[in-house]
Structure 1
């Protein structure tokens, strides 16, 4: 198996749960993106709207104003880019400016125009499992059997995207760890990754620094203290057949994947 693609997270928001406000300034955001690439990121995933639990929506115009100048700057440097957005208007503008991926945490449910915009743009589309917006998503997440239900609902998102004209080869799925899910749900989904890979589409895993990893923090309570646990999940996700991992600390995950890669080579 090949090493998973590493998406380095670049939040240009004032309120993201891990690093809100650090990269709001375009110059700081660009410098951080270049550092993530130096550390081994294959793609930079840029987000202009926080989707942390409890977050309120921001106008699409404000989101676009945050991300578009950075997309233009980084695309001009030849960096592969993903846009983390639920808004079709943002997705279309960023695709035109050079983004290669649209990473939609709602899987097309938040904006009825998203599938059509993606279909017309030629970019790859990451459809995440999602049930409701961040303000209420953790109120009472209920599943009878989370892996099979998430797999079935992702199948519905895939079918909708294909029906709208998105080519199957351009689709990627994400189980949506932490989105309308408890910690137990997250662990069950990670254990069930091979079943999700069995859908036949590339799978992206986004566990980075999320609250369910707090028990494994290296020390203290800051989200960055969860990077060791995140890197371990990246390696285990690779073993389970994941296409990609989305992380804040690229260097730690790159090291963990290098160990996994050497182990996997020795078994060949």
Structure 2
């Protein structure tokens, strides 16, 4: 089944007492990269395109979708939600700074100013050293920057009716928004998505420390792609990339977490993962 091209709804305005997601018009969105694009942020190994089932729109990538200011807004929102459900949360000792660097990426690291209660392993042993929760609402009295930034993200979702962008419902109806905080020692092991428990797509936002996503063909481990996920980048994956290619987030300790011989700077990473709900319940 081929999906139609992603259609971005036009912003609209209505007079109402409700707080709408899409309150301000956004500038035209940039065209995404695909795994076949010539980009310094995408590296292939073997012959990953030998599988005829891989279509260009199975993986779309926007490297600099959010500005540093928008990234800061999203990190603050995610930490607000994650900290509320972290029963082990404790303040860092006075005078301890999470970062001494002054570049933009490390400016975000300064927001991670506590000792967090990371879980060592996920129930299916895929994710290690992490915190997670669902995003079911925004903070009380959210700023216009937050509302505008989160609506910009949801505008990427395929087949989302314009009425959903004009609604005050978070997340939009028919979607699930998941927040994942990966510690500097964390990783996500290679896995494929559960077909019966999944919808048509996953949209992922990377915030904070850079990581490398590895897409590796299930039946040919020497074929696939590495994608450098910088802070503020967004990807959308579906179909063959979800079910025929294992995807993982490499740990900083592996040799694979170098890019052209450059070691990535270690740091906390938050990902915002948006899924559409499956059309039928998972078989238990």
TM interval, shorter chain, is under 0.3
Q: Which has the larger radius of gyration?
A: 2
Is the helix fraction higher in 1 or 2? Answer: 1
Larger RCO (CA under 8 A, 6+ residues apart): 2
Query: When you count strand as a share of all residues, which structure comes out higher?
Result: 2
TM-score (norm 2): 0.25
